[in-house]
Amino acid sequence: MVTSYKRLNGMCIALVAAALGASPGALAAEPLKPFVLAETADNGSVEEVAERVSGALEDGGFKLVGEYPVSETAHVVVATHGDLMAVAEDNPRSAYLAPVRVAITEVNGEVQVSYNNLEYFSHAYRVEQDVSAVQDELKEAIGYEHTFGSEDGLSERELRRYRYMMGMERFDAPYELGSHASSEAAMSVLEESLSSGESGVRKIYKLEIPEHDVTLYGISVREGQGAPKDASDVHKLNTVDVGEFRHTAYLPYEILVHDGTIEALHMRFRMAVHWPDLGMIGANSFMQLRRSPGVLEEVLQAVAGYEEEADDFDW
């Protein structure tokens, strides 16, 4: 039904464009997909390709901020760019766009290099600034073959109001992980928790935008280090990331601190916007991860020092 609607909508656009003597593209931008395949390397290990990609990012004007060895066959290099760091100037929550997640994943003897599509996520995260110039620099630095992650793609309008289905969260309904007297106090709690690693959650990177009181953390959630299986990164990838082109650049997850509050994008939004075509039921579906959003929330709340609000009633 969705596909039929999109096709009908496309036909309407084409007819209107023809009547106005314009191309369909002049009235509607090309649908966007969540990931970019930079290259498929047929030689070199994951570690060797990751090292090469890291060097290319630095040579291309990007700043490396962290690395996440997800597994023996998957590695993520995280970088940023001055223009991406500036996106939080108008809206602190736009800081979610600041990290570029470049994944190096071995699939059937070949190594895929892919990254999050900045233009796609600029709309999903409701960023107002144009990031196409940074996207072009990223293409120049590490390559571009095609986008992937959704058969038909999503329009800018669909992304800005995105939710997977009725009743699920949008971008403006994040996990509320904790509230502290100041951002300094919030970060003190986070840093202590992430350093101890007792919950299986550890810091991959930290991006600070002090003039706007914004700090973004990239984290790993690992079962082997103490996290529950349902919350762990590898469990989630192993469950749903089974397509020809892998979505490893879904990781690492982010935690945002602003004005003393700690939040993270809700998994029912964040995973869905990275896998917009994923089925609700059946093998390799959201249903297989039905416990994960709640378990992840509990784990992150523990890391952030979450406390239940006091009951106003005195019984």
58-76: pLDDT as tens digits: 999 999 999 999 999 999 9
For residue 312, tell me if it sits in a domain: no
Residue 13 has pLDDT above 90, yes or no: no
Number of domains in the chain: 1
For residues 143-163, average pLDDT: 98
Q: Residue 220, class by beta-carbon neighbours within 10 Å (0-12 exposed, 13-18 middle, 19+ buried)?
A: buried
For residue 10, tell me if it sits in a domain: no
Looking at per-residue pLDDT, the higher value among 43 and 63 belongs to: 63
- Specify the pLDDT at position 225: 95
The CA-atom distances, in angstroms, between 39 and each of 11, 42, 53, 228 are: 33, 10, 11, 34
- CB contact set of 49 (below 8 Å; sequence gap of 6+): 41, 104, 111, 113
The model's pTM is: 0.89
Q: Residue 216, class by beta-carbon neighbours within 10 Å (0-12 exposed, 13-18 middle, 19+ buried)?
A: buried
Residue 81 has pLDDT above 50, yes or no: yes
CATH of the domain at 203: 3.30.310.70
Return the SS3 of 119. helix
- Specify the pLDDT at position 210: 82
For residue 6, tell me if it sits in a domain: no
Residue 183 has pLDDT above 80, yes or no: yes
The CA-atom distances, in angstroms, between 80 and each of 58, 64, 76, 100, 244 are: 10, 7, 13, 6, 27
- Specify the pLDDT at position 309: 63
Structural domain of residue 47, as residue ranges? 31-304
For residue 210, tell me if it sits in a domain: yes
Would you place residue 306 in the very low, low, confident or very high pLDDT band (cuts 50, 70, 90)?
A: confident
Residue 18 has pLDDT above 70, yes or no: no
The tally of CA atoms less than 13 A away on the side-chain side of residue 160 is 7
Condensed to tens digits (0 to 9), the pLDDT of residues 195-239 reads 998 899 999 999 999 888 999 999 999 999 999 999 999 999 999
The CA-atom distances, in angstroms, between 43 and each of 146, 247, 303 are: 20, 21, 40
For residues 12-21, average pLDDT: 44
DSSP structure class, residue 86: G
DSSP bridge partners of 107: 110
Joined tokens for residue 11: 């036909």
For residue 230, tell me if it sits in a domain: yes
Least confident of 23-37, 161-175, 265-279, 294-308: 23-37
- Specify the pLDDT at position 89: 81
For residue 152, tell me if it sits in a domain: yes
Percent of the chain with pLDDT over 90: 83
- Specify the pLDDT at position 4: 33
Least confident of 23-37, 41-55, 179-193, 240-254: 23-37
For residues 245-263, average pLDDT: 97
- Specify the pLDDT at position 15: 45
Looking at per-residue pLDDT, the higher value among 307 and 224 belongs to: 224
For residue 68, tell me if it sits in a domain: yes
For residue 247, tell me if it sits in a domain: yes
- Whole-number average pLDDT of the chain: 90
Instruction: Provide long-range contacts, Cβ within 8 A and 24+ apart, for 228-235.
Output: 228/200, 228/295, 228/299, 230/289, 230/291, 230/292, 230/295, 230/296, 231/200, 231/292, 231/295, 231/296, 231/298, 231/299, 232/200, 233/70, 234/70, 234/71, 235/292
- Specify the pLDDT at position 310: 53
Residue 156 has pLDDT above 50, yes or no: yes
Residue owning tokens 């144009």: 130
- Specify the pLDDT at position 88: 86
Question: Which of 187, 229, 228 is closest to 207 using CA atoms?
Answer: 187
